[in-house]
Amino acid sequence: MKSSSKKTAAPKLPNYVLVVEDDAILSLSLQGALEDAGVKEVVLCTTTDQALEALRRKKPDAIVLDVHLADRDDGWAVAELVETLGPKPPRVIFSTGAPQDIPEDVAVLGCVLEKPYDSADLVSLLGQPERTGIIKRLRGALGAK
């Protein structure tokens, strides 16, 4: 019996990921997992203000966003902001122990990982093609003209 020599391509991970998380142990764990998986640049922010400053400096490919931060209880406001950053906004992954706290109209802006989760789940999710809903498809079509 011949064995198949086809190799599956490694998932395409983003080059630059912004992690907005106020739990130092979790953020360092996520940083290590992302770098080990091949993400070239991981920037850690513990507050909304730090996240906004990082967004001013450079647009990330993806954002891992805790929604309850030490400085604000509505961390999802960052997700609402990144939707305005142009035709291809960063991919958003909400990282929270309280997914029910994310308003429905905001939750559709990204995927939700409920804490606690394995960092391998985050890496796997970032390696999957981004789902494109009707709003994103319409935005892309309108922006292309």
Residue 94 has pLDDT above 80, yes or no: yes
d(CA 48, CA 54): 10
For 21-39, the pLDDT digits (tens) are 999 999 999 999 999 999 9
Q: Does domain 16-143 have CATH number 3.40.50.300?
A: no
d(CA 18, CA 103): 22
**pLDDT given for residue 6 in this prediction:** 53
Residue 56 has pLDDT above 80, yes or no: yes
46-62 in b/e form (b: 16+ CB < 10 A) is: bebebbeebbeeebbbb
**pLDDT given for residue 66 in this prediction:** 93
Return mean pLDDT, the chain: 83
